[in-house]
Chains A and B, each alone.
Chain A
Amino acid sequence: MTKSNFTRRGMLKTGALAGSGLALPTIFTAQSAAAASFTNDPTGSTVTLGFNVPQSGPYADEGADELRAYQLAVEHLNGEGDGGMLSTFSSKVLEGNGILGKKVQFVTGDTQTKSDAARASAKSMIEKDGAVMITGGSSSGVAIAVQGLCQEAGVIFMAGLTHSNDTTGKDKKANGFRHFFNAYMSAAALAPVLAARYGTDRKAYHLTADYTWGWTQEESIASATEALGWSTVNKVRTPLASTDFSSYIAPVLNSGADVLILNHYGGNMVNSLTNAVQFGLRDKMVNNKNFEIIVPLYSRLMARGAGKNVAGILGSTNWHWSLQDAGSKAFVQSFGMRWGFPPSQAAHTVYCQTLLYADAVTRAGSFNPCAVGEALEGYEFDGLGNGKTLYRADDHQCFKDVLVVKGKENPDNEFDLLEVVEVTPAAQVTYAPDHPMFAGGALGECNPGA
């Protein structure tokens, strides 16, 4: 059926087409050699930062609070507002004239709490908006995925709310930095308090969100409590998308356990804790001991969701607005004036990260990711609300005091839900960089991109 007739003109046309097709790839080898020595070198009078937070999905509340803190940090860096923690920060190089004299601008994106969407959003910030630093994330899976992307693209990643050991453990990257604490630190801070309050002879039952963060937290808590002399009855994994935990709570009653550990966060924790309290677990006496529930990672936003159910329940947190040091007070005042309510720990950590980045750029005198990374590595600072803090060079993790908190029995208002039980000093939660829970990864070389 097909008719083929070669004509001279046709041959010429096809030849020209094929020739230009073959020639096409060669223009790519030029590779924009004349461009800057690192990705998105800000050449104008402004510098763009990318704030990549969940605006939909289970962690949308945290995302919204992070965004408020980012906006506040940008205002303070540009010399607007009251300056917040700039006045209490131990480093005084930031003068409120932007970063290196360039006005700070920002773009935002929605991670949807999905690795794929988060990477797409971060990529568009880097490729379209020319962001020189990406920060944010709530959920460790997302943070790890975006950290990997930033390493490849050659920009700095300042992690937001990510608590998994893996972020600065087996998935650590040279371009990624974390201010937030991790599951190991939670466990190390909680264990002595648990021993003091609940004794050393307990049987624990774990309910764990079935993903990276849940597993590392379960591992950390189990190993810390077992070191106290507790035994672990069972570890049950629950899907991240679950909203009703009744079917997981019922077996706890018959297991002989006298402590329930909820390795859940956000909406998951609100639902599982509510279910557990509704089942009357807290009024039970098992093995002649009062049944206890522990939520290793607490946040005020979660406490608000769970309402009265959090009363008396122990957990740990990175920072709380009721702290009385100068840095925390300045931040709470500034955030409260701007938005009308106190900040959450997510807001605090991302605000600190933004300031720390700006400070590192200023000290390094360059936006080059390698120079910034060098300025952050092994950097000791104070006045950001957590006392003396060290950015360790070996794994880019911050080491600072950890708060053990308890749900308040009689809260005065809807923000005053947690009370600080103990401030565990940084030395007690510090671990060796090659600790087995963190082993298996390598920072690699810093990548300036382009």
Chain B
Amino acid sequence: MLGLNTKDTRLLLIVIALTLSTPILLQPFAEGTGLAQFNAGYPDLMQRFAIFGIFAIGFNILFGLTGYLSFGHAAFLGVGSYSAVWMFKLLSMNILPGLILAVIVSGLFALLIGFVSLRRSGIYFSILTLAFAQMSFNLAYSVLTPITNGETGLQVTLNDPRILDGVNASPYTNLFGLPMSSSVKLELLGRLFTFNLGYYFCAVIAILAFYLSLRIFRSPFGLMLRAVKCNQQRMSYTGLNARPYTLAAFVISGMYAGLAGGLLAAMDPLAGAERMQWTASGEVVLMTILGGAGTLMGPVLGAGFIKYFENIFSKINDTVLHSWFAFLPDGIEDALVFVVQPFVGKGWQLTLGLVFMLVVVFLPGGLMEGGQRISAWIRRKSRKDDGRADSEHRPGTSPHIAE
């Protein structure tokens, strides 16, 4: 289907099913119970899952396929956000013009940075991209304040011109009049499911982005990119110029980042300079490596994992911990809270760091490798079970030769 083989079609269908049922899957615990703390099915976080999934998918096209490690991808995210917010301010609160401009501007920006940075490879390339991103961050933070509104971040205000919008147009980001924040809430079995329009918009775009990356991975172009990663020298000896391929990959992944940035702004019309900081660039590298670089699903998993930690673990404070361990005697309760506390709440980054270390050491292929190992183990085990079921050791029927 859609130019994919059966296996990839199945993968795509699984991704579609998972993305569309996210509001249900992420709400596994009943409201009012202690575990409701771990529910993640609220619109803002789901939107972030989808958006950072797109960001990581795009990053993976560059890093996973060509092996070029860009340490400045957050710059494109930021540029995308700023262009989108400017469109909201000048043209219309309809998100489409904003998104289109976000992709175009970040693509041009990536072309510029890529053209310079790709003259070098390896660590020099990484440092160059890092320098460009940090430069963009500092520009946005102070020098270009008239355009970016500096540290406060660019916001939409009531007296923006918005020339395409009528007088009575919605002051919120919308898609042809449907506000992004509108959602339908459904209470079922004590669980509250929120189906949010903004999330579904992001989800549809994420699926398209995933499909596009799937096609790129399977295309001759993708093969070329893999050749660059494999052995660039050999590639040039055979008379192929690698630069256009890497530049194309760089621009494509920059456009993905810009799209993600534009979506971020579309869901919440504010563009802050921190979006371009090196920590943000590092985050997408972490996402990709944590999930599994070079795999299709890995970066999305990694993105979800990190965003979950950032938003859910960081909210477990002392009071919550005390309520969890309240059934224990006072002394033990305090001791337990004292032990657990550095790892949750404001210490969420510590836990994330530990998990990242464990993954890199024991699962170099990321979470995807973990998944593969588990499924392989299950398969092996079930095969063993079959063997044991055959207690009389009868010889099996010999397979038909023609099969």
Contact = CB atoms under 8 A, between A and B. Distances in A.
Interface stretch (A23-31, A196-204, A247-255, A271-279): A23-31
Given A109-B314, A117-B274, A124-B44, A148 B155 contact: yes
A65 interface: no
A152 interface: yes
B152 A140 contact: yes
Nearest to B201: A25
Contacts of A108: 315, 317, 319, 345
B182 interface: yes
A237 B184 CA distance: 48
Contact of B142 (A60, A119, A140, A237): A237
Contacts of A380: none
Nearest to A114: B274
Contact of A30 (B184, B200, B274): B184
A25 B159 CA distance: 30
A350 to B, nearest CB: 16
Interface string B198-215: 001000000000000000
B315 A107 contact: yes
Contacts of A12: none
B311 interface: yes
B42 interface: yes
A75 to B, nearest CB: 11
A115 B142 contact: no
B178 A212 contact: no
Contacts of B126: none
B80 interface: no
B244 to A, nearest CB: 25
A119 B183 CA distance: 19
A140 B149 CA distance: 13
Given A32-B184, A141-B153, A211-B141, A120 B48 contact: yes
Contact of A128 (B39, B155, B184): B39
Nearest to A441: B157
Q: Which of A71, A115, A237, A240 has the most CB of B within 10 A?
A: A115
A320 interface: no
Interface string A257-297: 00000000000000000000000000000000000000000
Given A55-B345, A211-B142, A442-B159, A114 B152 contact: no
Contacts of B387: none
Contact of A127 (B44, B274, B310): B44
Interface residues of A, number: 49
Interface string A59-73: 010000000000100
Residue in A27, A141, A149, A441 with the greatest tally of chain B CB atoms within 10 Å = A141
Identify which of B200, B270, B310 gathers the most chain A CB atoms within 10 Å of its CB.
B270
B114 interface: no
A424 B37 CA distance: 47
A221 B97 CA distance: 42
B361 to A, nearest CB: 26
B138 interface: yes
B3 interface: yes
A266 B52 CA distance: 32
B45 interface: yes
A56 B43 contact: no
B346 A56 contact: yes
Contacts of A441: 157
B165 interface: no
A440 to B, nearest CB: 9
Nearest to B274: A114
Contact of B346 (A29, A110, A115, A444): A110
Nearest to B175: A25
B143 to A, nearest CB: 9
A144 interface: yes
B133 interface: no
Interface in B163-190: 172, 178, 181-185
Contact of B158 (A32, A117, A237, A444): A444
A35 interface: yes
A171 interface: yes
B30 to A, nearest CB: 14
Indicate the member of A28, A128, A140, A239 with the most B CB atoms within 10 Å. A128
A116 B48 CA distance: 12
B330 interface: no
Given A115-B270, A120-B44, A212 B184 contact: no
B185 A124 contact: no
Given A153-B181, A442-B159, 9 more contacts: A24-B200, A32-B183, A32-B184, A55-B345, A108-B317, A152-B172, A239-B138, A240-B141, A441-B157
11 contacts: A25-B178, A28-B178, A106-B319, A110-B345, A120-B44, A127-B42, A127-B43, A127-B194, A141-B152, A152-B181, A211-B142
